[in-house]
């Protein structure tokens, strides 16, 4: 799942979350495959960002999963003695792996 600017969205990408209008109505639902017509509509409606399946857009400077996991280890390196924080760390790492899968 990746959140991208509508300008970065391309035909064939699949929505991972509903796209809402500013009035909180669903414009197109989760699972919709983006077509050129839909992309035009998003632009007309001033939709700034969309969430799509997978990780289709390579952003400059973006970390790989391995780097992300290392960064989590590093952030928690001063608190390895504190059990609740170690539990939180495990959960965060598990979710990171799932989101990239």
Partner 1 sequence: MEDSKRQQFRAALRETKNLPTLPGIVVKLSRMADDPDSTTEQMGKVLSKDHILAAKLLKLVNSAFYGFPQRISSLSSAIILLGFNVVKSLIVSASIFEMMEDQDVELWEHSLGCAVACSVVARRIGVDEPEEVSTAGLIHDIGKVAIKMELPQEYEMITRLMRERKMSMRQAELEVLGLGHDEAGGWLTKSWNLPTKLIEPIACHHDPRLAKDEMLSSSIIHFSDILIRGMGYGHAGDDKVPALSKRAWQLLNLSPEDINFIIDEVEEKLWEVKGFSLEIQAETENSATNG
Binding residues for partner 1 (CB under 8 A): 1, 3, 5, 17, 22-24, 48-49, 51, 68, 71-72, 74-79, 82, 84-85, 87-89, 91-92, 95
Which residues are CB-neighbours of 97 under 8 A, at least 6 positions away?
Answer: 65, 69
Measured between alpha carbons, how far is 13 from 53 in angstroms, rounded to an integer?
Answer: 7
The distance of closest approach from Cβ of residue 29 to partner 1 in the complex, given in angstroms and rounded to an integer, is: 16
The distance of closest approach from Cβ of residue 40 to partner 1 in the complex, given in angstroms and rounded to an integer, is: 18
Our CB check for partner 1 shows the closer of 33 and 82 to be 82
Measured between alpha carbons, how far is 56 from 52 in angstroms, rounded to an integer?
Answer: 8
Which residues are CB-neighbours of 75 under 8 A, at least 6 positions away?
Answer: none
The distance of closest approach from Cβ of residue 1 to partner 1 in the complex, given in angstroms and rounded to an integer, is: 8
């Amino acid at each position: 799942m990746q959140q991208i600017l509508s300008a970065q969205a391309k035909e064939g990408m699949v929505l991972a979350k509903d796209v809402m209008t500013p009035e909180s109505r669903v414009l197109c639902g989760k699972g919709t495959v983006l077509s050129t017509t839909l992309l035009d509509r998003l632009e007309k409606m001033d939709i700034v960002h969309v969430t799509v399946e997978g990780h289709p857009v390579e952003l400059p400077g973006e970390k790989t999963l391995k780097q992300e996991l290392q960064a989590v280890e590093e952030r928690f390196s001063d608190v390895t003695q504190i059990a609740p924080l170690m539990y939180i760390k495990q959960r965060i790492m598990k979710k990171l792996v799932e989101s990239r899968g």
